[in-house]
Each structure stands twice: as C-alpha cells, then as structure tokens.
Amino acid sequence: MNFPLRSLLVALAAAGTLTACGTADKKADTATTQAAPAADAPVAETPTAPPAEAAPTATTADTATAATFDMSAVPVTSAELGSFPYLSPLKGYSVNTSNSEEYDFERAYMYDGKNLIPIEGKVSQRLIDNDSDAKKASELMIQRNYENLLKGLGAVKVHSGETPRTVIDKLGSDKAYKYGKWVLSPDHVTDTYVIRQKNKEVWVQVTPLGSDGNYALNVTERAAMPQQATILKADDLKKN
C-alpha cells in the first residue's frame, strides 16, 4: 500500500512541475509576441504639406513682365533739347500727318531687350516720308544720324533690334500697334534711346522701314496726366 501511495505522490509532483513549466513558457511567448512589432502592421504616414506656391510677379495692366532697365544707371544731362517732340526729320524728309499721332497724355512701350517698359506722358508717333523729289537715305544713314544727335544730347542707347513675336503676342498685336505704331515689330530694327535730365525723362525710338527710305520716329516724355475734368458748379450750369 505504501509503494503505490509513494508512486502516486511522485506522479502528482511531476505533473505539477510540467504544468508550471508550460505556464511559464506560455507567458514568455505572450510577452515576446507583445514586445515585437507586427511585421505587416501598417505604418501611419505623416501628412506632407502641399508645396508653397510662388509669389505672384508684379505686373502692369498690359504686360506680364516687369521692366528690367535701370534708369538710375543713366547719367543726368543738362543739354538743351528744344521743344517737344525735340527731333526733326532728316533733310529731304517730312512728317506724314495722315499716319502720325501726338498726345498730351498717352502710353508708349519701350523694348529693352527683355521686357516691354510702359511709359506714360506726352507721346509723339511720327511716320517720316521721303519727299518725292529728294534722294532717299539708307537705313544706316537714318540710324547713324539719330545716334550721333542723341548721343550729343547725352542719350543712352537702351536696345537695338527687333521686338520678338512672343513679346508682342503677350501684349497683343492691337495694343502693340496702338501704343507703338511701327516701332514694336519683329520685322524691323528699332533703336531705343533714353535721355535723363534733372526734371525730364525722354525716350526715343527710331525704326527704318525698308527700301522706300521711310522711317518711324517716336518720342515719349514721361509726365503726369493733366487733370482737366472737374465737377459742374451751379454757375456753370446757368451759363450753359
């Protein structure tokens, strides 16, 4: 009877030990499972802010680009300019009045080689024709005459060349003609000058127009608009 009882006690002790070991292993496995991150668990992504938009470029009402010419780099001259529009036609030439305009206040555009510069003030747009009985001048003679004259007045040449079609299209062909006539053209070379004085800024555009010997001569003097419109007073109404 004692031997079976001893065997039973030994068996129960062994079973308890095995149960304890199994419980410990199960706890260890559970701890390991909780500590290790799941390999396939989705990783939360940090939201990325959308790229900042570039600051808008300052533009004028009629152009998409800003002027690049630095007026402060032009020396100030005190040369006597005479009366507006300051420059005469060549000898043997005269103004074609049917195709010329002059305004006390208007806008003109100057191409500086990169952008169109809007200038407002007094504007003269003249088509200069060769007189029928006079010898016509070559394009070089036209260009060189005004270059010598203007440099003698202290002018600086801003640009010499055609106005690219892309620049004209940006402004619009109708506006290019309205505000420049023939001087804004992809087909003709325009020499653009500026004269800077203490109280005056004058731009000149000279454009030979081909084998006929005619040329365009535009002069623009920057100025404020003369305010002419006013309110009507009672006395003015009585007069009318």
- Would you place residue 212 in the very low, low, confident or very high pLDDT band (cuts 50, 70, 90)? confident
pLDDT of residue 133: 86
Q: Residues 37-53: what's their mean pLDDT?
A: 43
What's the CA gap between 93 and 7, in Å, rounded?
A: 140
Q: Has residue 65 got a pLDDT over 70? A: no
Domain ranges, ordered by start, for the chain: 1-28, 71-222
Structure confidence at residue 240 (pLDDT): 63
Instruction: Specify the pLDDT at position 48.
Output: 45
Which sign, positive or negative, has the C-alpha torsion 17, 19, 24, 25? positive
| β-bridge mates for residue 220, sequence order | 123, 203
Give the end-to-end CA distance of the chain in Å, rounded to a whole number: 147
Q: How large is the average pLDDT for residues 76-83?
A: 97
Residue 153 near residue 108, CB atoms below 8 Å: no
Quote the pLDDT of residue 161.
98
Nearest to 155 by CA among 54, 61, 87: 87
Q: pLDDT averaged over the chain?
A: 81
pTM reported for the whole predicted model: 0.71
Q: Is the pLDDT of residue 144 over 60?
A: yes
Q: Evaluate if residue 63 carries a pLDDT over 50.
A: no
Phi-psi region of 133 (alpha: psi -120 to 50; beta: other; left: phi over 0): alpha
- Radius of gyration of the chain from Cα atoms? 43
User: Residues 3-15: what's their mean pLDDT?
Assistant: 43
> How far is residue 6's CA from residue 190's CA, in Å, rounded to a whole number?
123
Least confident of 23-32, 102-111, 203-212: 23-32
**pLDDT > 60? residue 130:** yes
